[in-house]
């Protein structure tokens, strides 16, 4: 039996000063190499599930395990380390470092995961090229469009070929053609190193390319 | 668009703007409070120090009011004016011969008859407890010196009536009245020119510090308003509407600050905190006397804050405009630093030359020197973006963190450089403050115990403990033309003072022994073979007075300036951290540990804070020998002062770096992103 790439067991989370939990006793397993789509209406808790999986938020009850390691039991420093080494995250709001060029943004993620600088920059450049924003490598996030920034975020999340990829609306800001480019880039990681993927999305194209889908409603997985 | 549409649009705009301008979150309130407090602090500081200044000039006015108007070689009222220093304090004695020609005394006092005396309340109180004062003011009390003629409530002043025979002695001169346009005949504490000069320096120095605090507060408040009002731009409000809203918010905050500041100034003076600061007792400070200036200052500050408040936002795409890196700072920024350095070097060189031929420092050179130091300080502030920009590539080679540090430093290069500039000015003003303080308060090297000779004419030495008796007698003798005491020496434990005494045509250096002096040869004065007065003397506090006043102004001016700059630095740090808040969050989410991010932020502050101060330290090292030569002494120099010059900026920026490190946000505070 293989170890699950991601497992949430009865995980719950409430934001500070909020009555209702944003995520309520969620059970979820993603196997290595598997692509899972997380769908549901706006505000149902998709982003929160991803933040829990990434170890940015810690569940108030239940547990989160990534690659067999219970991240919800680790301290902040160990969670950070786990995140930069074995996960890639595409955030809903981009979250690029505004003071770094696109290339440096991507290369930095590689370096943080332990790749040497020269190699990280080479890989980053290739990845930006594939995503069609190679010419913009030396621009700053404030100088590119929303969709271009999103593609950069995808490059950044996949540059170190993580074991687990968490993506929040990765195609939310791009046209269909670029959506396909993004999904190809994500798939490349799945094919090359067996990355497991959890994608929160509203996009039917994305759902159709996933192996299965989970529906979230009011913070609960619906059957 | 018709006129009505335009009016409607701007009305809607104003409604929106006024809603957004009022801070609602705790953070917004805190940012608004920063402006209010900064303005209040400035007004209070100026109110208080100007109040002290007004007091000083009032003192001066009193002195002028009772200065005799001497006339040469004419018959008239004969008057002598002496200042004695007693254990009870400084005593001023006017000895008045018979009034010829109806001369008026100051404060409409009646001219005392021979054998009678007009005493101030302080002198009257001291007379019963101090033999010496009693001896010098002997006579029947004929009136009280009014407050109008007293520099401080407890001042000891006596107007002694003498007969014609007494007034014929040396030391008496003819007067035509009282109220000379400048102070004459006193052991002066501060000359009016000195007072004006110090007042100017104080205002400039304090003003520079205050301005930096106001600018830093304005920037922080502006950034906050911009964040809140940026959305108006997207909603289609016109630029004047937005600017107007910004301006009015800033002005209202500043007005509140002025009100608070005035209240604080009034409170400070009402509780009488001011009068005792300089070690001298004064009449109570009256803020009322400086209220008009304060109100003008308040108006200027409000206008300044309003203009800054409106100047910050640009038009169009407010929200995104700032994300692109700032342009490369122009090398023109190096010009003031260059000019200032050349100027400073020239002043030092000229001083070295004048030292060879004579006095070394002159007043003009001192002002030129102060000007040059100010320009160098400002120059460093202005040049620091260029310096940060130059330092960044050196750091960017040091691994991934180095790259991030360098990129961040360059991205907001002006904001980053403000840290360095602020540190520079802080260190500079701190050094000037300490230097001035040391110069003013430093011990004057006295002569050694055995070397002091007490020489008075026609004296016989009998018993050794009679020295004070002898001096008292000498000083109260009618032959005394003037006594000017110098500063006491700390090295001679039992000697309370050292002074110059003119007796007849001869000048003597006199040692005044304290109550416990036994080892020093004691002498007895005898005019008629007998001492006339017996009482211990203390050293002259007149020099002490100047020292305390100067030290006080240093404390108020330079100390205030340092305090203001510290505040400005803190505000600049806060502003910088706020600019980086999104990037910090992104790095944390990327998997950077808090420890590493903390280190990175510390490094960033170091890159910001070190180059300019280090450059200043190097310049200081080069200039120190010159200044020392000009001073004619090498006190305090040597390798240690160089170590200090380097250590202070390093320590200061390490301290700031530590603060940046310790204030790392945590990864799960994700609501920041959506504020
Ligand atoms: N920082 C926060 N503080 C308080 N409540 C929050 C915060 N972030 C999200 N929420 C609330 O938690 C619930 C889940 O939010 P979440 O962002 O996970 O939704 P989502 O499914 O990703 O929605 P969308 O599809 O619109 O991105 C929502 O009701 C939201 O209002
Ligand atoms: Mg979401």
* pLDDT at position B359: 57
Which residues are within 5 Å of ligand 2 (an ion), measured at CB? A 47, 92
Q: Which of residues 90-109 of A touch B (CB under 8 A)?
A: 91, 93, 95-101, 104, 107-109
* pLDDT at position B457: 31
B147 and B124 within one domain: yes
Ligand 1, from B585, B668, B670: best to mutate by most atoms within 8 Å of Cβ?
B670
- Is position B91 within any domain? yes
Residue with the bigger pLDDT between B291 and B359: it is B291
* pLDDT at position B257: 94
Distance from CA of A16 to the nearest CA of B (A): 10
Lowest mean pLDDT: which of A183-187, B195-199, B560-564, B657-661? B195-199
Kindly determine whether residue A54 and residue B590, on different chains, have CB atoms separated by under 8 Å.
no
Euclidean distance between CA atoms B546 and B487, whole angstroms: 11
**Does the pLDDT value for residue B355 go beyond 80?**
no
How many residues in total does chain A contain?
223
* pLDDT at position B633: 52
Lowest mean pLDDT: which of A21-25, A176-180, B225-229, B443-447? B443-447
Reported as a single tens digit per residue, the pLDDT across B508-524 is 444 444 433 332 222 22
- Report the alpha-carbon angle B55-B60-B66, nearest 5: 130
Distance from CA of B607 to the nearest CA of A (A): 15
Assign B59 a pLDDT band (cuts: 50, 70, 90).
confident
Euclidean distance between CA atoms B550 and B366, whole angstroms: 15
**Nearest CA, atom 14, ligand 1:** A45
- Cα dihedral across residues B583, B589, B593, B594: positive or negative: positive
Give the domain-ending residue among B323, B352, B376. Answer: B323
**Does the pLDDT value for residue B21 go beyond 80?**
no
- Average of pLDDT values for B476-497? 34
- Is position B365 within any domain? yes
* pLDDT at position B222: 77
Assign B529 a pLDDT band (cuts: 50, 70, 90).
very low
Query: In chain B, pLDDT over 90 holds for what percent of residues?
Result: 8
**Bridge partner residues of A199 (DSSP):** A37, A167
Q: Which residues contact B570 (CB under 8 A, 6 or more apart)?
A: none
* pLDDT at position B188: 59
B614 and B495 within one domain: no
Residues in A touching B594 (Cβ below 8 Å): 76-77, 80
Low-confidence ranges of chain A (pLDDT < 70): 1
A74–chain B Cβ distance below 8 A for any pair: no
Residue with the bigger pLDDT between B358 and B93: it is B93
* pLDDT at position A50: 92
- Average of pLDDT values for B242-262? 87
**Bridge partner residues of A6 (DSSP):** A30, A66
B552 and B419 within one domain: yes
* pLDDT at position A193: 85
B382 and B251 within one domain: no
Tell which of B406, B590, B596 to mutate to test the A interface (max A CBs under 10 Å): B590
- Average of pLDDT values for B316-329? 57
φ, ψ at B265 (rounded to 5°): -60, -45
B47 and B34 within one domain: yes
- Is position B673 within any domain? no
- Is position B671 within any domain? no
Kindly determine whether residue A76 and residue B585, on different chains, have CB atoms separated by under 8 Å.
no
Retrieve residue A88's tokens: 């890639």
Euclidean distance between CA atoms B95 and B86, whole angstroms: 18
Assign B259 a pLDDT band (cuts: 50, 70, 90).
very high
Euclidean distance between CA atoms B406 and B500, whole angstroms: 65
Retrieve residue A62's tokens: 């239940």
**Does the pLDDT value for residue B619 go beyond 60?**
yes
- Average of pLDDT values for B611-635? 67
Q: Tell me the CA distances in angstroms from B633 to B376, B434, B628, one per residue in order.
A: 24, 17, 6
* pLDDT at position B492: 31
Q: Other CB atoms closer than 10 Å to residue B472's CB: what's the count?
A: 25
**Does the pLDDT value for residue B551 go beyond 70?**
no
* pLDDT at position B458: 31
B638 and B608 within one domain: yes
**Does the pLDDT value for residue B671 go beyond 60?**
no
**Does the pLDDT value for residue B526 go beyond 70?**
no
- Is position B672 within any domain? no
Distance from CA of A62 to the nearest CA of B (A): 18
* pLDDT at position A106: 92
Q: Which residues line ligand 1 (CB under 6 A)?
A: A 15, 18, 22, 42-48, 92; B 670-671
B626 and B565 within one domain: yes
* pLDDT at position B441: 58
Lowest mean pLDDT: which of B81-95, B253-267, B643-657? B81-95
* pLDDT at position B487: 26
φ, ψ at B130 (rounded to 5°): -125, 110
* pLDDT at position B201: 73
For residue A222, how many C-alpha atoms fall within 13 Å in the half-sphere facing its CB?
10
Kindly determine whether residue A76 and residue B404, on different chains, have CB atoms separated by under 8 Å.
no
Give the domain-ending residue among B495, B514, B540. Answer: B540
Q: What domain range includes position B289?
A: 1-66+189-323
Q: Could you tell me whether strands B116-119 and B77-86 are parallel, antiparallel, or unpaired per DSSP bridges? A: unpaired
Of B407, B408, B593, the CB nearest to A81: B593
If we measure between CA atoms, which residue out of B210, B299, B217 comes closest to residue B35? B217
Lowest mean pLDDT: which of A50-59, B172-181, B367-376? B367-376
Kindly determine whether residue A142 and residue B323, on different chains, have CB atoms separated by under 8 Å.
yes
Burial (CB count <10 Å: 0-12, 13-18, 19+), residue B458: exposed
Burial (CB count <10 Å: 0-12, 13-18, 19+), residue A105: buried
Euclidean distance between CA atoms B294 and B561, whole angstroms: 18
Q: Other CB atoms closer than 10 Å to residue B392's CB: what's the count?
A: 23
A205–chain B Cβ distance below 8 A for any pair: no
Assign B468 a pLDDT band (cuts: 50, 70, 90).
very low
**Does the pLDDT value for residue B328 go beyond 50?**
yes
3-state secondary structure at position B480: strand
Euclidean distance between CA atoms A3 and B564, whole angstroms: 61
Distance from CA of A77 to the nearest CA of B (A): 5
Euclidean distance between CA atoms A89 and A51, whole angstroms: 9
Which atom of ligand 1 lies closest to the CA of A17?
Answer: 4
B587–chain A Cβ distance below 8 A for any pair: yes
Give the domain-ending residue among B142, B177, B212. Answer: B177
* pLDDT at position B411: 82
Q: Which of A126-135, B194-203, B204-213 has the highest mean pLDDT?
A: A126-135
Residue with the bigger pLDDT between A201 and B507: it is A201
**Bridge partner residues of B159 (DSSP):** B94, B118
* pLDDT at position B190: 63
Q: Could you tell me whether strands A196-200 and A35-39 are parallel, antiparallel, or unpaired per DSSP bridges? A: parallel
- Average of pLDDT values for B51-69? 82
Q: Which residues contact B673 (CB under 8 A, 6 or more apart)?
A: A93, A95, B582, B585
**Does the pLDDT value for residue B496 go beyond 70?**
no
What would the DSSP string read from start to end of B17-79? HHHHHS--SHHHHHHHHHHHHHHHHHHHHHHHHHHHHHHHHHHHHHHHHT-EEE-SS--SEEE
- Is position B437 within any domain? yes
Assign B452 a pLDDT band (cuts: 50, 70, 90).
very low
Burial (CB count <10 Å: 0-12, 13-18, 19+), residue B238: middle
CATH 3.30.70.2860 fits A6-221, yes or no: no
Euclidean distance between CA atoms B667 and B660, whole angstroms: 16
Which atom of ligand 1 lies closest to the CA of A49?
Answer: 18
Euclidean distance between CA atoms B27 and B22, whole angstroms: 12
Euclidean distance between CA atoms A132 and A178, whole angstroms: 9
B194 and B156 within one domain: no
Euclidean distance between CA atoms B258 and B147, whole angstroms: 34
B50 and B75 within one domain: no
**Does the pLDDT value for residue B265 go beyond 50?**
yes
B317 and B196 within one domain: yes
Residue with the bigger pLDDT between B497 and B629: it is B629
Retrieve residue B202's tokens: 């104080």
3-state secondary structure at position B537: strand
From edge to edge, which strands make up the β-sheet containing B77-86? B68-70, B173-178, B77-86, B89-96, B156-161, B116-119, B140-144
**Nearest CA, atom 20, ligand 1:** A43
- Is position B503 within any domain? yes
Q: Locate the chain A residue with the closest alpha carbon to B590.
A: A84
Euclidean distance between CA atoms B195 and B396, whole angstroms: 52
If we measure between CA atoms, which residue out of B391, B567, B552 comes closest to residue B48? B552
The domain tally of chain B equals 4
**Nearest CA, atom 25, ligand 1:** A42
Ligand 1, from A15, A50, A51, A52: best to mutate by most atoms within 8 Å of Cβ?
A15
B437 and B553 within one domain: yes
B575 and B471 within one domain: no
Reported as a single tens digit per residue, the pLDDT across B380-435 is 888 888 888 888 888 887 778 888 888 888 888 888 888 888 888 777 777 777 76
Euclidean distance between CA atoms B289 and B280, whole angstroms: 20
Question: Residue B167 gets which letter from DSSP?
Answer: G
Arithmetic mean of pLDDT over chain B: 71
Euclidean distance between CA atoms B644 and B621, whole angstroms: 10
* pLDDT at position B235: 65
């Amino acid at each position: 039996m293989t170890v699950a790439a991601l497992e949430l067991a009865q995980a719950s989370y409430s934001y500070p000063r909020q009555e209702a939990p944003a995520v309520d006793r969620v059970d979820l397993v993603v196997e290595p190499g598997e692509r899972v789509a997380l769908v549901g209406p706006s505000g149902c808790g998709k982003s929160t599930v991803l933040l829990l999986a990434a170890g940015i938020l810690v569940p108030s009850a239940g547990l989160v395990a990534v690659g067999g390691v219970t991240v919800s039991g680790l301290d902040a420093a160990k969670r950070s380390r786990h995140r930069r080494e074995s996960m890639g995250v595409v955030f809903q709001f981009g979250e690029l470092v505004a003071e770094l060029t696109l290339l440096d943004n991507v290369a930095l993620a590689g370096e943080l995961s332990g790749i040497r600088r020269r190699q990280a920059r080479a890989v980053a450049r290739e990845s930006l090229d594939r995503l069609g924003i190679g010419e913009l490598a030396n621009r700053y996030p404030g100088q590119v469009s929303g969709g271009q920034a999103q593609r950069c975020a995808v490059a950044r999340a996949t540059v170190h070929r993580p074991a687990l990829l968490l993506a929040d609306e990765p195609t939310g800001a791009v046209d269909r053609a670029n959506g396909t480019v993004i999904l190809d880039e994500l798939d490349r990681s799945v094919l090359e190193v067996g990355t497991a993927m959890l994608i929160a999305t509203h996009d039917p194209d994305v759902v159709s390319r996933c192996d299965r889908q989970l529906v979230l409603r009011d913070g609960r997985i619906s059957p | 668009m018709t006129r009505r549409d335009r009016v409607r649009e701007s009305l809607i705009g104003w409604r929106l703007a006024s809603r957004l301008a009022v801070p609602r979150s705790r953070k917004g309130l805190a940012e608004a409070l920063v402006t209010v407090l900064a303005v209040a602090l400035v007004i209070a500081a100026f109110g208080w120090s100007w109040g002290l200044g007004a007091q000083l000039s009032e003192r001066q006015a009193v002195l002028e009011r009772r200065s005799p108007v001497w006339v040469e070689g004419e018959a008239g009222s004969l008057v002598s004016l002496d200042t004695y220093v007693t254990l009870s304090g400084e005593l001023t004695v006017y000895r008045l011969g018979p009034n010829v020609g109806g001369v008026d005394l100051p404060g409409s006092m009646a001219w005392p008859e021979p054998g009678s005396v007009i005493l101030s309340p302080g002198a009257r109180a001291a007379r019963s407890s101090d033999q010496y004062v009693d001896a010098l003011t002997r006579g029947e009390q004929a009136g009280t010196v009014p407050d109008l003629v007293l520099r401080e409530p407890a001042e000891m002043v006596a107007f002694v009536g003498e007969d014609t025979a007494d007034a014929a002695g040396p030391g008496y001169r003819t007067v035509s009245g009282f109220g000379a346009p400048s102070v004459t005949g006193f052991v002066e504490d501060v000359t009016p020119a000195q007072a004006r000069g110090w007042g100017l320096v104080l205002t400039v120095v304090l003003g520079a510090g205050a301005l930096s605090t106001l600018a830093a507060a304005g920037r922080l408040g502006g950034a906050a308003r911009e964040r809140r009002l940026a959305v108006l731009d997207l909603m289609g409000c016109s630029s004047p509407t937005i600017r107007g809203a910004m301006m009015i918010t800033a002005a209202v905050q500043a007005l509140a600050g002025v009100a608070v500041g005035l209240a604080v100034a009034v409170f400070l003076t009402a509780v009488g905190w001011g009068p005792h600061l300089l070690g001298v007792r004064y009449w109570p400070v009256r803020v009322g006397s400086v209220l008009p200036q304060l109100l003008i200052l308040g108006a200027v500050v409000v206008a300044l804050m309003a203009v800054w408040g409106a100047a910050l936002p640009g038009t169009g795409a407010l929200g995104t405009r700032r994300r692109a890196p700032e342009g490369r700072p122009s090398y023109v920024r190096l010009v003031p630093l260059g000019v200032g350095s050349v100027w400073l070097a020239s002043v030092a060189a000229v001083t070295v030359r004048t030292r060879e031929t004579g006095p070394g420092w002159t007043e003009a050179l001192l002002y030129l020197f102060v000007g040059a130091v100010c320009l160098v300080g400002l120059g460093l502030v202005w040049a620091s973006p260029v310096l940060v920009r130059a330092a960044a590539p050196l750091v960017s080679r040091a691994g991934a963190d180095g790259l991030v540090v360098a990129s961040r430093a360059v991205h907001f290069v002006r904001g980053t450089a403000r840290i360095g500039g602020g540190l520079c000015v802080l260190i500079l003003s701190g050094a000037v403050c300490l230097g001035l303080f040391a110069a003013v308060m430093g011990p004057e090297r006295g002569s050694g115990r055995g070397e002091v000779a007490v020489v008075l004419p026609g004296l016989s030495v009998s018993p050794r403990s009679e020295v004070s008796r002898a001096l008292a007698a000498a000083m109260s003798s009618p032959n005394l033309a003037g006594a000017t005491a110098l500063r006491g020496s700390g090295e001679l434990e039992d000697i309370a003072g050292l002074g110059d005494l003119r007796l007849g045509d001869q000048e003597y250096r006199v040692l005044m022994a304290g109550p416990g002096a036994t080892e020093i040869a004691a002498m007895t004065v005898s005019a008629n073979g007998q001492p006339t007065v017996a009482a211990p003397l203390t050293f002259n506090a007149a020099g002490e007075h100047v020292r305390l006043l100067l030290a006080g102004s240093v404390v108020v001016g330079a100390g205030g300036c340092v305090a203001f700059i510290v505040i400005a630095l803190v505000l600049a740090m806060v502003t910088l951290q706020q600019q980086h808040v999104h990037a910090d969050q992104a790095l944390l989410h990327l998997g950077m540990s808090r420890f590493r991010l903390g280190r990175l932020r510390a490094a960033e502050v170091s890159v910001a804070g070190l180059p300019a101060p280090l450059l200043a330290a190097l310049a200081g090292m080069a200039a120190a020998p010159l200044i020392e030569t000009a001073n004619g002494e090498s006190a305090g120099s040597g390798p240690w002062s160089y170590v200090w010059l380097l250590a202070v900026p390093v320590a200061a920026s390490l301290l700031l770096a530590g603060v940046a490190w310790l204030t790392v946000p945590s990864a799960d505070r994700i609501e920041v992103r959506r504020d």
